[in-house]
Each structure stands twice: as structure tokens, then as C-alpha cells.
């Protein structure tokens, strides 16, 4: 087997590689395409529904459909603008589990656990990772240095030397730390 060539302590050079730049470009293009699809879906869908049914006046249908389309546009553009922000570094300062309740359709409540990782950024801000599954909750420990990659909406750990696994920053699959490339998407792992 090949000896590990890339060091497991330190920030990865992979995020600035041409391969990852290409992936980010493709993701941006596809999220813009979906933004337009969803923005148009509501007005078009509502107008068709309005033409088919006589129950609701057409101008009301156009207003509601147009409003929802506009809302989709704003939400998506806001999300896309978030992915353009620069990466930030921080340290995990706290991990907590919270019991939450959700209401089912039949009126009963069900509990679930929310896994929260609190990070203090170098700029002194507090960021929280909130999960249902707890992948990052298990992966990160208090004291770990982490870097957030907004374009990929994923985290990288500074010191991976004690880990047996690593998450793919592109498709999120859990890989063995021995892998250089992800078993699912075949892109470079951030190490
Ligand atoms: Zn992957």
C-alpha cells in the first residue's frame, strides 16, 4: 500500500486545487439553474391551475403564484450569496444535545434529539452546527480547530491525525482516512 503522502495535521491544499474549483463552478451553475426553475414553477403552475379551475379568480391566482415565485427567488439568491463568502476558521467550544418535539399530522408529539456543535470563530463570532443525525457532533471534539468552506457548505478539521475516518467535503460520504479520493464521488478528500 502507498504510504500516506499528505500530512494529516494542517489545513488541506485540496480546496484551492483546480479540481475543486471546477466542482464549485459546476455547483454554482446548477444552483442558479434550479433557482430559475423554482422561481418560474410557482407562477406557471398557479396560472395553469387557475385556468383549469373556475373556483378562484385568475388575477388572485397570478398574485399568489407570482408572490411565491418571488419568495423562492429571494431565498435562493440569499443562499447562493452565502456560498460566495470567504472561508472562516474557528475552535469548537461546546457540544450539546437538546430534546425537541415535533407535532405529527395526527396531533401526537414525537421527540427527537438535536445535536449542536458551537464554534468560536477567529473573529470572535459564535457559529452553531445543528443536526438531526449528529455526524459533525461525533466527528468534532471540544478544542478542535475547524475551517468552514462556504462554497461547499462543509467543514474541515485541522488535526486529522487521530481519526479513522473523514467526511467527503463535496458529497458528505464518510470515507476511511486512508482514502485519497471519495468512494462515491471520486473527488479528492480534504487532507
Ligand atoms: Zn464524495
Three-class DSSP labels, 3-59? CCCCCCECCCCHHHCHHHHHHHHHHHHHHHHHHHHHHHHHHHHHHHHHHHCCCCCHH
- In this prediction, what percent of the chain has a pLDDT beyond 90? 71
Q: Looking at residues 153-164, what average pLDDT do you find?
A: 96
Taking the centre of ligand 1 as the mean of its atom positions, its distance from the CA of residue 91, in whole angstroms, is 25
Instruction: Give residue 5's pLDDT band: very low, low, confident or very high (50, 70, 90).
Output: low
For 63-79, the pLDDT digits (tens) are 889 999 999 999 999 98
For 137-157, the pLDDT digits (tens) are 999 999 999 999 999 999 999
Taking the centre of ligand 1 as the mean of its atom positions, its distance from the CA of residue 176, in whole angstroms, is 12
Q: Rounded to 5 degrees, what angle do the CA atoms 40, 41, 44 make? A: 80
The predicted structure's pLDDT at residue 1: 42
Taking the centre of ligand 1 as the mean of its atom positions, its distance from the CA of residue 141, in whole angstroms, is 23
Q: What is the pTM of this model?
A: 0.81
Residues with CB under 5 A from ligand 1 (ion): 168, 170-171, 173, 182, 184-185
Instruction: Give residue 6's pLDDT band: very low, low, confident or very high (50, 70, 90).
Output: confident
Most confident region among 80-84, 99-103, 170-174 by mean pLDDT: 170-174
Residues in contact with 1: Cβ distance below 8 Å, sequence separation at least 6, in sequence order: 178
Rounded CA separation 183/191 (Å): 15
Taking the centre of ligand 1 as the mean of its atom positions, its distance from the CA of residue 151, in whole angstroms, is 15
Domains and CATH numbers, the chain: 20-83 (no CATH), 92-143 (2.10.70)
The CA R_g of the chain, rounded to the nearest whole Å, is: 22
Taking the centre of ligand 1 as the mean of its atom positions, its distance from the CA of residue 104, in whole angstroms, is 34
The predicted structure's pLDDT at residue 3: 46
The predicted structure's pLDDT at residue 2: 46
Produce one character per residue of 24-42: b if its CB has 16 or more CB atoms within 10 Å, e if not: beeeeeeeeeebeebbeeb
Taking the centre of ligand 1 as the mean of its atom positions, its distance from the CA of residue 189, in whole angstroms, is 8
Characterise 186 by phi-psi region: left (phi > 0), alpha (psi -120 to 50), beta (else).
left
Taking the centre of ligand 1 as the mean of its atom positions, its distance from the CA of residue 15, in whole angstroms, is 13
CA atoms within 13 A of residue 13's CA, in its CB half-sphere: 5
The predicted structure's pLDDT at residue 141: 97
Q: Looking at residues 49-62, what average pLDDT do you find?
A: 83
Rounded CA separation 28/7 (Å): 30
What DSSP element (H or E) covers 81?
helix 58-83
Residue 92 has pLDDT above 50, yes or no: yes
Tell me what the pLDDT averaged over the chain comes to. Answer: 92
Rounded CA separation 76/35 (Å): 6
* Total residue count of the chain as it appears in this document: 191
Amino acid at each position: 500500500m502507498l504510504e500516506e503522502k499528505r500530512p494529516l495535521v494542517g489545513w488541506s491544499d485540496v480546496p484551492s486545487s483546480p479540481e475543486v474549483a471546477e466542482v464549485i463552478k459546476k455547483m454554482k451553475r446548477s444552483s442558479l439553474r434550479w433557482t430559475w426553475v423554482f422561481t418560474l414553477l410557482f407562477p406557471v403552475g398557479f396560472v395553469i391551475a387557475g385556468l383549469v379551475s373556475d373556483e378562484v379568480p385568475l388575477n388572485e391566482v397570478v398574485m399568489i403564484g407570482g408572490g411565491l415565485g418571488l419568495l423562492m427567488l429571494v431565498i435562493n439568491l440569499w443562499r447562493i450569496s452565502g456560498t460566495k463568502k470567504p472561508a472562516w476558521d474557528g475552535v469548537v467550544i461546546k457540544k450539546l444535545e437538546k430534546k425537541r418535539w415535533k407535532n405529527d399530522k395526527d396531533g401526537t408529539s414525537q421527540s427527537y434529539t438535536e445535536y449542536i456543535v458551537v464554534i468560536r470563530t477567529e473573529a470572535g463570532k459564535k457559529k452553531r452546527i445543528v443536526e438531526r443525525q449528529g455526524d459533525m457532533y461525533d466527528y468534532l471534539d471540544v478544542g478542535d480547530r475547524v475551517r468552514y468552506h462556504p462554497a461547499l457548505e462543509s467543514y474541515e478539521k485541522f488535526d486529522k491525525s487521530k481519526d479513522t475516518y473523514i467526511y467527503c467535503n463535496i458529497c458528505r460520504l464518510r470515507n476511511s482516512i486512508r482514502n485519497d479520493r471519495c468512494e462515491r464521488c471520486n473527488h479528492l478528500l480534504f487532507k
